[in-house]
Amino acid sequence: MSTAQELERAIGKDVYDVEGNKVGTVANLYASDLSGEPEWVTVKTGLFGNKESFVPLTGAHTERDGLHLGARKDTIKDAPRIDDQGHLSEAEAAELYRHYDLKSAMPGQPRSGQSQPGRYDDAAAGQGMSGNGLRRPGTNEQGMSEHGMDAHGMDGQDLSARGMDARGRDGRGVDGQESMVRSEERLRAGTETVETGRVRLHKHVVTEEQQVTVPVSHEEVHVTREPIGDGEARGGDIQEDEREVVLHEERPVVAKETVPVERVGLDTETVRDEQQVSDTVRKEQIEVEDTTDPKHRRS
């Protein structure tokens, strides 16, 4: 577990879950009403960081790249949606402890960490959570700053960080003169990667007929007759006789062999394009209402 100073320095840095997946950025720390030590952190999630989730600091530690938590990314994103208003009631805190299957520490006892499955019931929650809400350091139970002023304006931004007083938008400039801060919304656009389809390679067997011409030969018998001269042969007995000739022919023989002929693969290519996105933004305009005598006005 990191020290309170290390956790404070992690505000604004990246947040990673127990498996090393990036979740968002650190927004605020929340301490237990009983121990006064930081036990929870709010994490800005979403494409533009416009959502905040409460995550326990059990098993968390800081590194150079940011804050590493002991919870999984899907558990963090499914956490109950509770507004970051400076202080959480016992019921809101109990809902968070129940979601992460944790038990709150009793007064004078260390945190018990993760409870055993099936051990968290309403009775145990009532005993362990007695008087134990959660607050952001520097605020009281009503979410007010320790100086008695609301620490957040209507838009949830820290007024002290913006140099405003409790009136919200009016204050004095550095030279002591009355001044007003004008704000405006600006459109920010980003990208996210989504799945658009899948391409698979599937190999199956088809049968087709091929014809191959094979040269063949065969033997045929022809009867030849040739006269014999008077002095070439001797006479003999007349008798029966026979001769035979064996004929041959070639016949085509078919055999099959498997040979590789082609390699087919899949490759992805990133094609860059531009798309126009639009949305409405608001901005403040300041009008001057001057009721002074015209002779006292400066041109």
Q: Is residue 202 part of a domain?
A: no
Q: Are residues 136 and 167 in the same domain?
A: no
pLDDT of 106 above 80: no
pLDDT over 90 percentage in the chain: 19
Q: What band does 117 get if pLDDT is binned at 50, 70 and 90? A: very low
Q: Are residues 88 and 182 in the same domain?
A: no
Number of domains the chain contains: 2
Q: Are residues 129 and 44 in the same domain?
A: yes
Q: Is residue 292 part of a domain?
A: no
Q: What band does 47 get if pLDDT is binned at 50, 70 and 90? A: low
Q: Mean pLDDT, to the nearest integer, of 180-206?
A: 87
Pairing of strands 38-45, 134-135: unpaired
Tell me what pLDDT residue 152 has.
Answer: 40
Tally Cβ neighbours within 10 Å of residue 109.
11
Tell me what pLDDT residue 140 has.
Answer: 55
pLDDT of 33 above 50: yes
Least confident of 4-8, 84-88, 153-157, 178-182: 153-157
Q: Is residue 22 part of a domain?
A: yes
Q: Which residue has the higher pLDDT, 61 or 4?
A: 61
Q: What band does 171 get if pLDDT is binned at 50, 70 and 90? A: low
Q: Is residue 251 part of a domain?
A: no
Q: What is the DSSP string of 64-113?
A: TTEEE-SS-HHHHHTS-----SSEE-HHHHHHHHHHTTB-PPPTTS----
Q: Is residue 29 part of a domain?
A: yes
DSSP state of 294: G
Least confident of 8-17, 22-31, 158-167, 251-260: 158-167
pLDDT of 14 above 60: yes
Structural domain of 173: 152-187
Highest mean pLDDT among 48-62, 129-143, 228-242: 48-62
